[in-house]
Chains A and B, each alone.
Chain A
Amino acid sequence: QKEVEQNSGPLSVPEGAIASLNCTYSDRGSQSFFWYRQYSGKSPELIMFIYSNGDKEDGRFTAQLNKASQYVSLLIRDSQPSDSATYLCAVILVRGNKLVFGAGTILRVKS
């Protein structure tokens, strides 16, 4: 089982719709979770972090964390073509304190 799993996509949504990106992790003791956005040929850019169960909102982005079910998600409201990118979920593992990444989900927002 991979430490962090994401559906590779691509996830295609029309402009203005809500994009929902999901991630599961294997280390039940993990406490810190991050979402990064990566444009083609560029390095990852941090967009959200969440440490507590529930929702955390920042502009058009909402991160959701459910530790009991070991999943974290990212919602993007009013999706724009400029949101088209690969979204990477990252988790700090209790075992070894490593920050590990999923393979990423490709998001395509069509105008």
Chain B
Amino acid sequence: GAGVSQTPSNKVTEKGKYVELRCDPISGHTALYWYRQSLGQGPEFLIYFQGTGAADDSGLPNDRFFAVRPEGSVSTLKIQRTERGDSAVYLCASSHGGWGTEAFFGQGTRLTVV
């Protein structure tokens, strides 16, 4: 596609529920990143994929968070047993050459846990 696409743009869920956030990267981009951004803060690194594998998942806050990229293109961020503290904008970015090359962001998914 022309840009990074994230769906849904907004998600409201009840505490304790499971959610999935989807990212469709720029066509041909092998690297894909997930970040979380709270109001007034910079993007917080969660996980980085190179192809199908997670090259660095050190930013995932706990085992309720998991991400997959089974075919090396679309990625899904999965959050189990959501908590109110998970409320944030979840950003996805992709680049064509992994670290060291420019990353381009999607419009984000605003997650609200009530």
Cα distance, A98 to B108, chains bound together (Å): 19
On whether the beta carbons of B107 and A42 are closer than 8 Å, the reply is yes
Q: Report how far A42 CA is from B91 CA in the complex, Å.
A: 10
| Residues 33-62 of chain B, each 1 if its beta carbon lies under 8 Å from chain A, else 0 | 101000011111100100000011011000
Report the minimum CB–CB distance from B10 to chain A (whole Å): 12
Question: Which of under 10, 10 to 19, 20 to 34, or 35 or more describes the interface residues of A?
Answer: 20 to 34
Q: Bound complex: CA of A29 vs CA of B102, how far in Å?
A: 18
* Residues on the A chain within 8 Å of B40, using CB: 8, 103
Contact yes or no, B103 A46, CB < 8 A = yes
Q: Is B43's CB under 8 angstroms from A97's CB?
A: no
Q: Is the interface of B mostly helix, strand, loop or mixed?
A: loop
**Interfacial chain B residues near A45, Cβ < 8 Å:** 105
Asked whether B43 lies within 8 Å of A46 as measured between CB atoms, the reply is no
Q: What is the number of residues of chain B that contact chain A, defined by CB distance less than 8 Å?
A: 23
Closest to A106 in B: B40
Q: What separation, in Å, do the CA atoms of A58 and B85 have in the docked complex?
A: 40
CB pair B100–A32 under 8 Å, yes or no, is yes
Contact A99 B102 (CB under 8 A): no
A49 CB within 8 Å of chain B: yes
The distance from the CB of A98 to the nearest CB of chain B, in whole angstroms, is: 5
The B55-103 residues at the A interface (CB cut-off 8 A) are 55-56, 58-59, 91, 99-100, 102-103
How many whole Å from B22's CB to the nearest CB in chain A? Answer: 15
Inter-chain contact A88/B48, CB cutoff 8 Å: no
Q: List 5 A-B contacts (CB under 8 A).
A: A46-B104, A99-B99, A101-B44, A102-B42, A104-B41
| B residues at A contact (CB < 8 Å) | 33, 35, 40-45, 48, 55-56, 58-59, 91, 99-100, 102-108
6 nearest CB pairs, A to B: A101-B42, A43-B105, A97-B99, A103-B42, A101-B43, A32-B100
Q: A46-B104, A101-B44, A103-B41 known; 16 other A-B pairs, CB under 8 Å?
A: A32-B100, A34-B102, A34-B103, A43-B91, A43-B108, A44-B91, A44-B105, A51-B100, A97-B48, A97-B99, A98-B58, A99-B45, A99-B48, A101-B42, A103-B40, A104-B41
